[in-house]
Structure 1
Amino acid sequence: MTPQETAHRVIAANNYLTLATADGDGHPWASPVFYTPDGDDFYWVSRPTSTHSRNLAERPEVAIVIYNSQVPLGAAEAVYLTAHAEQVGAQDLSRCAQLYSSRLPEQTVFEPEQLQDPADFRLYRARAVEASVLLNDGGPDLRVPISLRADS
Structure 2
Amino acid sequence: MQSDAAANSPGTPAEVARRLIEQNTYVTLATSDGAGRPWASPVWFAPRGLAEFYWVSRTGRRHSRNIEARPEVALVVFDSTAPVGHAEAVYVDAVAGQVDDVDLAAALAVYSGRSIERGLPAWDASAVTGDAPHRLYVARAIDVFVLDETEGRVSVPVR
Please give the TM-score of this superposition, normalised by the length of structure 1: 0.91
Match of 1:108 among 121, 127, 144: 121
Extract unaligned runs of 5+ from structure 2: 1-10
Query: After the TM superposition, which residues 112-131 of structure 1 pair with which residues of structure 2 at under 5 Å, given as runs?
Result: 112-131=125-144
Corresponding residue SS for 1:108: coil
Q: Which residue of 1 aligns with 2:8?
A: none
CA contact (8 A) 1:8 1:148 kept: no
How big is each residue's C-alpha offset from its partner over 1:10-59, in whole Å with a ceiling of 9 and x where there is no partner?
Answer: 11111000000000000000000011110200000000010000000110
Alignment correspondent of 1:60: 71
Deviation at 1:81, TM superposition (A): 0.5
Root-mean-square deviation (CA, aligned residues, Å) is: 1.2
1:20 and 1:84 mapped to 2: Cα distance? 11
Tell whether the 8 Å contact from 2:58 to 2:133 is kept in structure 1 after alignment. Answer: yes
For 2:102, the equivalent position in structure 1 comes to: 91
Note the residue ranges of structure 1 that are not aligned, 5 or more in a row. Answer: none
Cross-structure match for 1:144? 154
Deviation at 1:148, TM superposition (A): 2.9
Residue 81 of structure 1 corresponds to which residue in structure 2? 92
Moved more, 90-99 or 32-41: 90-99
Secondary structure, aligned partner of 1:103: helix
Superposition TM-score, scaled by structure 2 size: 0.88
* 1:133 pairs with 2:146: yes
Shift of 1:79: 0.3
Q: Which of residues 36, 43, 47 in structure 1 aligns to 2:58?
A: 47
How many residues were matched structurally?
146
Check 1:24–1:91 CA distance in 2 against 1; reply closer, same or farther (3 A cut). Answer: same
- Secondary structure of the residue aligned to 1:70 is coil
Q: What residue is the counterpart of 2:17 in the other structure?
A: 7
C-alpha distance in structure 2 between counterparts of 1:61 and 1:23, whole Å? 10
Find the aligned partners of 1:54 and 1:86 in 2 and give their Cα distance: 10
In the TM superposition, residue 126 of structure 1 has moved relative to its aligned partner by: 0.4
**Inter-partner Cα distance in structure 1 for 2:133 and 2:14:** 37
Q: Is structure 2 residue 47 aligned with structure 1 residue 37?
A: yes
- How far did residue 107 of structure 1 move? 4.7
By relative contact order (CA 8 Å, sep 6+), the higher-ranking structure is 2
